[in-house]
Structure 1
Amino acid sequence: MYEIAICDDIQQICEEVYKLVSEELLKRDIDVRIYTYTSGQSLLSAGIIFDILFLDIELERENGLEIAREYPYKKEMRIIFLTSHIEEMPNGYKVRAFRFLTKPIEPAHFEEALFAAIRDIEQDKRFTVTDEEGEHIIRSSEIFYLESQQRSTGVRTRERFARLPLSIEEMKKELDMTQFYCPHKSYIVNMDFIRTIDKGVVILKNDEKIKISRLKMKDFKEKFYDYLRSRANGF
């Protein structure tokens, strides 16, 4: 069962999104529990780990971006922002926005965003990694990059650098390679964590740099910018 929350200070919008979610998932016989909130504070007080959150950016007397930043379980959620101001999009990515939908909401765009989030949840595989502190469970969405090592693969997340008992080639089969890319034979990077591409290197959001193979430069740039467009195609 999916846990989905809707937070908008306009009750009519909450009801509209509630109806869209219900109808789309009912057609596909998908179980869901839906919660609605008309303020950011009521959402924060819920303390629930939602799978998907539809969140208005321009809440009355509140900023939806700040609410998302404060939410304790934001790493576990796919946040789809609702907005009338497309200029807010760059700020949304700072809190790991999954999609943006403009108001008034287009049903076709809504359907795409909803099922993209569900597919992303289903593809977010879990792996057991090891470091000096012992074993840890990580999700594929937490991985910044993977690095080929002798008989194993190094894994960088925000919290640690650990190891997996699988090769880079084996990891390619495990990961969603529309989200990950190999800029070099020894690395796989998560495009969600790329800050920019500059002078033949990928600069990640943790400031680490990974060299891009000269032969892959053109293809990598195309794949990366296509990926960014796909993440923003709620517009």
Structure 2
Amino acid sequence: MKIAICDDEVNFQKVLREKLEAYYGILAVEIEVFSSGIDFVERFKEYPLEFQMIFMDIEMPYQDGIETSKRIRKINPSIPIIFLTSHTELAMEGYEVDAFRFLDKPLRMERLMKTLQDFDNLRLLDSKIELQDGERTRVVNWVDIQYVQSENVYINVYMEDARYLIRKKLSDMEEQMPKQLFYKPHRSYLINLGFVKSFDGKKIMMKNGNEIPLGRGKRSDFKISLMNYLRILG
């Protein structure tokens, strides 16, 4: 994931970068810093899909964060913009450009964490996968997949109102899946934690009434994964 920080305060750039790298892990995120809204817009014009999230200081010389964001919205109307300001009265102007969140300076860690969690939820709910169903390619949301079951060199992908038989390895499907959303309770299954109704030491009951085996020794690990899911998406 790539994040842009647009802020003219060098010390603040450093602090925010360190917090983002600590949250996501230094290998999971790439952060690029811009000290001018003008410079950022020039880059954004050329590469409008390069960044997944923008931290934007409202108060910058020459071209402030509001004006910069108006230019961004003409290029990409949906990218999440998180405004940063030490004057909270300026935050109201951010509604003109559909700001994702507002954070006041100096940063409060709990507010930043909540913002990042909300952003992760948004990404998770919007993410999709292509399924090659015979000669058709179907695009489905990950959140709509209830569970996946392996069947020799095929997998069954179960949705609420459909089942697709796809030539694909379960392990390959697992690599693509959002880790916060899915869990592997048994070597032959991957389940969407959002469709879990109940469980005991041997099986998981899904909301559609199907029972999924829970591998020996996986109960504690499954409970942790389920709690993490509820924390992230709850």
Give the TM-score of the pair, scaled to structure 2.
0.50
2:155 counterpart (137, 150, 153): 153
> Structure 2: how far apart are the matches of 1:221 and 1:229?
12
| Structure number, greater radius of gyration | 2
Shift of 1:191: 0.7
Counterpart of 1:166 in structure 2: which amino acid? K
Q: Report SS of the residue matched to 1:214.
A: coil
Correspondence for 1:167: 169
Give the Cα–Cα distance (whole angstroms) in 2 for the partners of residues 134 and 125 of structure 1.
16
> 1 CA distance for matches of 2:200 and 2:95?
41
Amino acid at match of 2:131: T
- Structure 2 counterpart of 1:187: 189
**TM-score, with normalisation over the residues of structure 1?**
0.50
Preserved CA contact (<8 Å) 2:125 2:143: no
Higher RCO (CA < 8 A, seq sep 6+): 1
Provide the C-alpha distance between the structure 1 equivalents of 2:183 and 2:176, rounded to a whole number of angstroms: 13
Q: Check the 8 A contact 1:179/1:191 in 2, yes or no.
A: yes
What is the alpha-carbon distance in structure 2 between the residues aligned to residue 127 and residue 210 of structure 1? 25
Matched ranges for 1:78-157 at <5 A: 107-108=111-112, 111-121=115-125, 124-130=127-133, 136-157=138-159
- State, as a whole percentage, how many aligned pairs show the same letter: 22
* Cα distance, 1:139 vs structure 2: 2.2
Instruction: Check conservation: 1:20, 1:107, Cα contact below 8 A.
Output: no
Say whether residues 1:211 and 2:217 are aligned partners: no
Distance 2:195 2:122 in 1: 20
Change (3 A) 1:26 1:193: closer
1:29-52 CA distances to partner (integer Å, 9 max, x unpaired)? xxxxxxxxxxxxxxxxxxxxxxxx
CA distance in 2 between partners of 1:121 and 1:2 (Å): 18
Aligned residue pairs, count:
142
